[in-house]
Structure 1
Amino acid sequence: MALTRRVRRQLQIQGFACPTDEEFERLAPWLRFSPVACSAAGAVGTLLASPALLVGLAATAVVGAVTGVHPFDTLYNHGIRRLTRTDSLPRNATPRRFACAVATVWLLATAGAFRSGRDRLGRALGALFVLTSGLNAAYVCVPSMVYRALTGWPADSSPGETGVDERDAVTRPEP
């Protein structure tokens, strides 16, 4: 896959930086794995109106927010990548961790709506969660964009700059 400028920029917004285009190209498709898996699980939880499933999914999101390694990233790093013979995913940087924190609150609110019998509200919140997290299939992470807007991140990087704040640098997890 040829890495477009738009895809590179969207990944930088999420806090990802790779030293070479080749590394970015190898990792880019798999950086969508966890958010898209969350979107799919959120869809199931919403369709079933299941507070338990949504709270369980919120628990995975809080782990991603606190540790920088989402449980679905761990599933990929220790299982899927061995089957696909691809590189391991890096730790999540601050913008993506912020997205996990937003997802935690959102999923708990959705679960709370279902639990309290407000099914319409639960379905609306769930549908918006699925749509927002599903945008990651196109490398768009709305909460990361909000984080960048709140922290005053530059609107565009100069050529040759990564656009990634030093504090947001990603590192590879231990193998």
Structure 2
Amino acid sequence: MPRTLEQNKKIKEASKKRIMEAALKVFGEYGFDGASVSQIAREAGISTGLMYNYFASKDDLVLTIVDDFLEHHFGEWGKKISDAQTPYDKLVVAVDRYVIPLQEDVNKWRLIRELSVRKEFKDEFWNIVSPIRNVYAKQLESLYLQLGEDPVKGFWGLQTFLEGVASCYCSYGEKYPIQQIRNQYLKGYRQKLYE
């Protein structure tokens, strides 16, 4: 019995996901420049030619990974911050939506950081990031208004803090005291709001 369109779609999505996961592993091990399409295909358990049925190029693959990750990461984040009750709870969500995924999959963050500064990806990367960041910025600016702070400075202050945390964690891994840094940052706001 032939497969239905729905079954074919699920198989294609599963294969695409497997290729993306394999690519992350290979990029994590060899870097973007050091990784080849054939290494990625081999890691995914498919032929190189078959990989091109899913992605036009290594560049297409990496940008799809970034888009998928950021859409998932910040999409969930927006709902969670809206659901949080107090300004402090919203701030905790904002920090944790960055810190927890960073700890769970540092290779994705390393890849995103690498692409964000690469000349050949800059325009495409920012086309993916800008709409997401704009929504993120509006929610955080609203949060800082609730905290009684300048919203633009608050957003960029938090963004700078989180980028610094990401940079250090990507560089030092488990040696970096990420939870202590997180707790110290949030403690300052907790004291300001509740003491």
- Tell me the TM-score normalized by structure 1: 0.34
Higher relative contact order, chain-length normalized (CA < 8 Å, sep 6+):
1
Larger Rg over CA atoms: 2
Higher helix share: 2
